[in-house]
Structure 1
């Protein structure tokens, strides 16, 4: 890749040594592609791309065939290299963990159509629509259909079933009140990490309780709908029992019932 470039031999050797060490292919440099594994071929292809001095790098799932542990290591090394060199790259991946770890901004596509182009934080906290909201984040965002009723100085969001949320009108930002005007039904979104288990006025029936070593995932039935909650401690809840939970209206996302487009992120004014 560097033979046509105007580089001194020592500079070429240094550049090759740097990228081959980065992707850990030094032991196979003298072997033909047909004699190495698919993962090794993929790392060699990545090295050939990175060794060039280019204005833009297009990397199309360059680590898709690697085992998870090596993939995580190379992801960190690649991120450091991009920053150190000030490299601009377009990185294509179906792995949202990889996208969040590497990207400054992420383009979320569905069926060839751009859904949102934003930072990883904004994709999670301010999704443009239901597709982005449920695609970004693990576990995905909980979604509930809800009716809206206004009375006195409060808004009531009634989820189909027996769950309702009352929010003082004065606590809702004016822009959000304007966006809600004229709507009688919306879809509410709540991230699993924002559900607080063990206390609160709401109740859910536990369907599964999984301890994953550093966090608990609880799937529960709420108003006839599935809700997933994530806690960073063990939750002593047995399957089939009722567990109390709560959440803040600030953590509720509101989406248009028909289009799925975002109406607001958080009901209470911050």
Structure 2
């Protein structure tokens, strides 16, 4: 009789959900009592003992199943995020901020550096921020030079100029600003050079393998305060083809240079 009572108690505990595991010792005790009752012939109640053992085994199976179910549920709760899913925006790179704000100006009233009144080759012009007045570049354009022989001697892959002459326009830049600036990349203050014919037609720039001592505009690196660099723009044209050299700072600030006279 005790075995059956223990088996019933164990089955009841097995159905309590999270505490089903506690039924294990009770059910084991019911099985042990049932075996003792069967072995002890003097006690009688053999049928009740067998029923207790069967009930205890069935209860143990149910306890194991219920414990497993609740265990899996608790494990899922550990990894469940109650926050609703929201797609994360794709990060975007920070927008480029030029090292110097404002528009370039050479400080003149517009009467110099124009097509009608170009700066002479060799004159140093300070380009400043029109808003703050802070200087950014010291810029000068040298007289065009014939670089045909130098280019031919540097690399056999440089093509022969169609006009018979490669002309180089030397430009010297000194950075006098406080921040670092890249004259090739920083769009507000980059410097582009074009050789113009007397009729105002731009001559196409050539991109060639340059000899030692020559730097192309695409090879310019970031510059810090006080650094100076001279680069060359190469065109396939004789020396007498150009009327003036146009330097463009930023998007649309143009200055013109030519031989004095």
Give the TM-score normalised by the residue count of structure 2.
0.20
Identify, as 1 or 2, the structure richer in strand: 1
